A = this chain, B = another copy of it.
């Protein structure tokens, strides 16, 4: 297996893009990544997307995007693992290059959600949960996460306001990212007055949906010795239904995939300088920090309260806004995380730049922890 490098990155702002179709979003990000890499022809395109069939009446995005990117004819396919789709696309693109089967691979995550009525979007998001045993009970996806958050508060003795540091950090960081959907800081008071979506989750605990696309151009590392290197890559799964898990407060797949990625990269959590985690809901940020070894069980919130997740802290998270403030175009998010991580490692994160980082991790989660893809990136 060859080492793989990230030679180019591209992204669109996360917005309500009423003037751009799903193919246009994907093409914008893909072209940007190719231009950044100085590559005009790729061997394959892997697309991460979740809801295009339901919300855009469009399947077969691989071939469609290849055509509109000026790459008509190349191998192209879509990967889907709910909100973990883009991380999954990255993983397949990586294996394609690492294997020697492909020399230049474009990986694109894209999602266009805001054109659809809210009830359709809510139904589409619920397909990430178990249709036969969860959704049939009437629970929405945010409802499921509300149950998890309530359980976390009960088990570890937290109040709702204790989760504020996650939202405050994300919004403060989003304010430094011109591509973020929300670019305004929020205060503790605003957090505490957040409108309830599904008790105890308020608007400030839930990431917003959005339209957007992000892309990476992958090549063998020997062809790009200066480029950011993929040092670890792993994917793992867990039950879709939260009630089927031994412990609903432990992200087993996050632990498993992070551990595998650490081993490949020959690092420990202590070596990781930055962690773009999947903060779709504030409780998921806490659970990810715990499962990946940055905090003891039940201490993820305390880690945040201690300031460790801030830009100057021990383990900065959501440095460009995270899902919470950058926005969460579900099947594209995993690639936004990787684009942002790469920019940070290249020292090109602008006002959001974290100084002196060498090892960074991005973790993309599908469902309530059912598919977890972890990548460890390294500056060369």
- Chain B residues, Cβ within 8 Å of A244: 67
Are A57 and B95 in contact, with the CB atoms below 8 A? Answer: no
How many chain A residues touch B (CB < 8 A): the figure is 64
Answer whether residue A167 sits at the interface, using C-beta atoms and an 8 A cutoff: no
- Would you give the shortest CB distance from A284 to chain B, in whole angstroms? 16
Which stretch (A71-79, A168-176, A291-299) binds chain B? A71-79
Q: Which residues of B contact A74 (CB under 8 A)?
A: 236-237
Interface residues of A, dominant DSSP: mixed
How far is it, in angstroms, between the C-alpha of A341 and the C-alpha of B354 when the chains are bound? 55
Task: Judge whether B63 and A127 touch: CB under 8 Å.
Answer: no
Q: A1-B99, A62-B81, A77-B79 are in contact. Are A57 and B240 (CB under 8 A)?
A: no
- For A58, the chain B residues whose CB sits under 8 A away are 127, 130-132
Q: Top 4 A-B pairs ranked by shortest CB distance?
A: A99-B99, A63-B237, A59-B127, A63-B370
A239, closest chain B residue (CB): B67
Contact A63 B76 (CB under 8 A): no
CA distance A78 to B52 in the complex (A): 14
- Check A29 for interface membership: any CB of B closer than 8 A: no
Closest to A21 in B: B132
| Seed contacts A51-B53, A63-B239, A77-B235; 14 additional CB < 8 Å A-B pairs | A1-B100, A1-B101, A53-B53, A53-B54, A59-B80, A59-B128, A60-B80, A72-B239, A74-B237, A75-B234, A76-B81, A76-B237, A77-B79, A77-B92
Given A73-B252, A239-B67, A82 and B60 touching (CB < 8 A)?
yes
Interface string of A357-377 (1 = CB under 8 A from B): 000000000110011000000
What are 30 A-to-B residue pairs whose CB atoms are below 8 Å? A1-B100, A21-B132, A50-B53, A53-B53, A54-B54, A56-B131, A57-B123, A57-B131, A60-B366, A60-B367, A62-B88, A62-B371, A63-B370, A63-B371, A64-B240, A72-B237, A72-B238, A72-B239, A73-B236, A73-B237, A73-B252, A74-B237, A76-B237, A77-B79, A77-B91, A77-B371, A78-B80, A92-B92, A99-B100, A99-B101
Contacting residues of chain A (5-20) with chain B, CB-CB under 8 angstroms: none
Report A264-310 residues with CB < 8 Å from chain B CB.
none
A183 → chain B closest CB, angstroms: 30
